[in-house]
Structure 1
Amino acid sequence: MKNILPFIFTVMLLLVGCTDRDDDLEAINIRVKNNNDFAYETVQVGDSEKPLTDIAAGKYSEYIPFETAYRYAYVQIVASGETYVLQPIDFVGETPLNAGFYTYELKIGEDGLIALEFKQEL
């Protein structure tokens, strides 16, 4: 019996301590993937209050919650001391995203333009 109590305690601790990202589906959650071979110092997405920082090459940021977002957005990236901007003209005809988890895969081209590839997470 003494051997089973630590096991039960460990299982209970794991069940209580684990959270599933699907638990918070009330918001639109967007993260950024850096598709370049250099780090992004900061990334500002849309009207987010807090910029994302230090996104290494090929890595993802944490999710940022939004009340309203679209398949594309205003994006400002600072990398290697340079500032790059993706500025949408408008969102006319666009449908707002439903609550869920999404990724903006970003890549700065040799021409200095930002390419944004939208992905819906499953």
Structure 2
Amino acid sequence: MKIRITLYLLFLILASCGMEDRRPSGVFIRVQNNSDVNFTGVLIQSGNVEKAFGAISARSVSDYKEFEYAFKSATVWLQAEGHPFYLNATVKEGELPLKAGFYTYRLGLNSANLTDAGLVFEFIRD
């Protein structure tokens, strides 16, 4: 019995040595398509890097991508059913980059008529 308890405690000590504090060590961003149409060619620029998110189906989210640093806003390029859309980021003077963590850029359209629609951008801290 003592051997079993000793081995169990040794296992716990060794396992805890490699544990991190469960906090991410980078800025991870995903894109959510909050519209009823599929997005293709989704490209996001935040900070100093552009990241390609590819195609994102209607009402779904992409995988997270790591950014060296990023802001609450982003420049976005995408196509929705062949219609190109562009949204230019406006980073406020003095705005600090995001802290390490997980974030979502929620993108939608403000009209069902794609020829008149514009992109809607929302920042979410996951």
Q: Given the two structures, how large is their TM-score scaled by the length of structure 1? A: 0.73
- Deviating above 3 A after TM superposition, structure 1's stretches of 4 or more consecutive aligned residues are none
Residue 66 to residue 112, structure 1, CA distance change in 2 (3 Å)? same
RMSD: 1.8
Q: Deviations over 1:30-78 (max 9, x none)?
A: 0000001010012101032x41122111100011110111111101111
> Which of structures 1 and 2 has the bigger CA Rg?
2
Q: In percent, how many aligned pairs have the same letter?
A: 35
- How far apart are residue 90 of structure 1 and its match? 4.1
Residue 103 to residue 89, structure 1, CA distance change in 2 (3 Å)? closer
Output aligned runs, 1:29-44, within 5 Å: 29-44=28-43
Partner of 2:58 in structure 1?
57
Structure 2 alignment gaps of length 5 or more: 1-20
Residue 101 to residue 76, structure 1, CA distance change in 2 (3 Å)? same
Higher strand share: 2
Structure 1 alignment gaps of length 5 or more: 1-21
Partner of 2:103 in structure 1?
102
